[in-house]
Amino acid sequence: MTLLPALQRPGRLSVPELLRTGGVHCAYQPVVELATGEVLGREALLRTPEGSGWSSPLDVLHAAEADGLLGELERAAMSRAIEDAAAASEGAPQTLFLNIEPRTLSRHLPLVLETLARREPQVRVVVEITERALALDPAGMLDAAARLRSVGCAIALDDVGVVPASLAFIPLLAPEIIKLDLQLLRTLEDPETMTVADAVRARAEATGARVVAEGIETRDDLSRAVVLGADLGQGWYLGRPHRGLPRGERHAGRLPRPHAPLGGGATPFEIVAPRRAVRTVPKRLLLPLSRTLEMSAAEHRVPPLVLGSFQDERFFTAHTARRYARLAQALPFVGALGSGRPATIPTGVRWAAVDPSEPLAREWAVVVLGAHESVALVGREVAGPVGPAGADCGGSIATADDSEGAAEGTVPVEDGGRDFEFAVTHDQGLVAEVAQALLRRFGADARPS
């Protein structure tokens, strides 16, 4: 979420005063197994003391951001939750769901990891990340998820289904927990809601991820949650937030083991080539396939994300830019990579720079990653790295309509004859690994124009 400054009201304790007096604490709402009614864990919700003048947790977060104390505020809340869980556990397993602001994860991750490292062994932690945070800062959120998993935390993707486009981020983050937005319970008759439910159910079946339906307030809501495919639930019908944690409560339900990080420092070709058949062909024979993958992405029932790696900015021509602009109007994330920076980047398209000396500067990739359909075309130029503009040294991957003055469907001889080793995969896990390797290059500052 975007945090805006909050005005300090008369009689309200300031954020520094809250931190100094230790008034920050949490209320805990159960996350319940729908089949048995047992508590899997409890979500820690930020609270301030009665009479402190704060009307909502969001107001406190806004003010802390304005004061430059967001990290300190969140550390205080996390520390209190971890201490409460350890005190109440009496040796039994405890599971905490923690909401941590995206800006805290991207700017103060060492502080978060240090705080989590102090938890007792019986305290399991699930950190919730929203798809909006992923879209704004892919590199930061993917790095945060990997480092949180390295210290034993599971990841929950929160607010899934606010828009169907959020589904594209499920295979990318590979969450152990998927939390359905509470509005889905109110729109069960909407085809878009069923589309979301179908995609989430398929993901859970394939990976073992657990699905939480939020906002269960009535028995009818409980039935609707089951129809949506949830096996866990949260809401007042199942339990209201309480300041204290029940002593000795045992949270022994199944929590998926945190996934190993994907991608690492490998390039798309280095990821795919060892696991798929590699062939060498002239570029002109691959162009129809690359264009088809890009343009068919806009026709998918659940919008995927699209990434294109172009070697060099000069191959992201005006024709290419127009094609990617059309994709950006329909898809949740469209990114392009290459050395340099194009003179014009279309609205909604992200650009990430590649150093010309990197192995990625020799590669061509088109990646389509979604809830249902996933595919990656990866290629590496045989002749060598890209040379100065205008040099015929290999590496041009302009599509047929990318060469200025060329007729649609034709390719200049000097471009179309260049050879690429290439491979194609439809394996969602492998495509997600390629997408992660590319998205790690898109920082928070690479925002739509």
- Which of 303, 314, 275, 274 has its CA nearest to residue 402? 314
| Six token digits for residue 65 | 């951001």
The number of angstroms, rounded, from the C-alpha of 311 to the middle of its chain's C-alpha atoms is 25
Q: What is the distance between the alpha carbons of residues 302 and 170, in angstroms, rounded to a whole number?
A: 12
Q: How far is CA 291 from CA 22, 154, 286, 301, 420, in A?
A: 58, 37, 9, 19, 16
**Do the Cβ atoms of 438 and 367 come closer than 8 Å?**
yes
Q: What is the distance between the alpha carbons of residues 237 and 37, in angstroms, rounded to a whole number?
A: 11
> Model's pTM, two decimal places?
0.84
Is 261 exposed, middle or buried (CB count within 10 Å of its CB: 0-12, 13-18, 19+)?
middle
Q: What is the distance between the alpha carbons of residues 24 and 12, in angstroms, rounded to a whole number?
A: 14
Q: What are phi and psi of 337, to 5 degrees?
A: -135, 150
pLDDT, position 411: 44
pLDDT, position 34: 96
Instruction: Name the β-bridge partners of 367.
Output: 307, 376
Query: Which residues, at least 6 apart from 326, have a Cβ–Cβ distance to it below 8 Å?
Result: 298
- Amino acid (one-letter) located at 243: R
Q: What is the pLDDT along the chain (449 residues), one digit of tens a residue?
A: 444 444 445 568 889 999 998 889 999 999 999 999 999 999 999 999 888 888 888 899 999 999 999 999 999 999 999 999 999 998 899 999 999 999 999 899 999 999 999 999 999 999 999 878 888 888 889 999 999 999 999 999 998 987 777 788 888 889 999 999 999 999 999 988 888 899 899 999 988 999 999 999 999 999 999 999 999 999 999 999 999 899 989 998 888 887 766 556 899 999 999 999 999 999 889 889 998 999 888 888 788 999 999 999 988 988 899 999 999 999 989 999 999 999 889 999 999 999 999 999 999 999 999 988 899 999 999 975 444 433 333 333 333 344 433 434 444 444 556 799 999 999 998 999 999 999 999 987 544 43
Q: What is the distance between the alpha carbons of residues 203 and 195, in angstroms, rounded to a whole number?
A: 13
**Do the Cβ atoms of 171 and 204 come closer than 8 Å?**
no
Which sign does the torsion angle of CA 148, 153, 159, 160 carry?
positive
Alpha helices by DSSP H, 297-369: 318-330
- ∠ CA 265-439-363, rounded to 5°: 65
Specify whether the backbone of 161 is left (phi greater than 0), alpha (psi in -120 to 50) or beta. Answer: left
Alpha helices by DSSP H, 12-137: 15-21, 57-67, 70-89, 102-107, 109-117, 131-136
Q: What is the distance between the alpha carbons of residues 423 and 377, in angstroms, rounded to a whole number?
A: 6
Alpha helices by DSSP H, 304-356: 318-330
The CA-based dihedral angle spanning residues 433, 436, 438, 442, taken in that order and rounded to the nearest 10 degrees: 180
> How many other C-beta atoms can be found within 10 angstroms of the C-beta atom of residue 186?
13
Buried b (16+ CB within 10 A) or exposed e, 299-326: ebebbbbbbbbbbbbbbbbebbbebbbb
Q: What is the distance between the alpha carbons of residues 261 and 256, in angstroms, rounded to a whole number?
A: 15
| Six token digits for residue 394 | 């290999």
> How many other C-beta atoms can be found within 10 angstroms of the C-beta atom of residue 20?
10
Helix and strand counts by DSSP (H, E) for the chain: 15, 15
The number of CA neighbours under 13 Å toward the Cβ of 239 is: 24
Q: What is the distance between the alpha carbons of residues 116 and 123, in angstroms, rounded to a whole number?
A: 10
| Six token digits for residue 213 | 């339906």
Q: What is the distance between the alpha carbons of residues 193 and 243, in angstroms, rounded to a whole number?
A: 34
Q: What is the distance between the alpha carbons of residues 389 and 253, in angstroms, rounded to a whole number?
A: 59
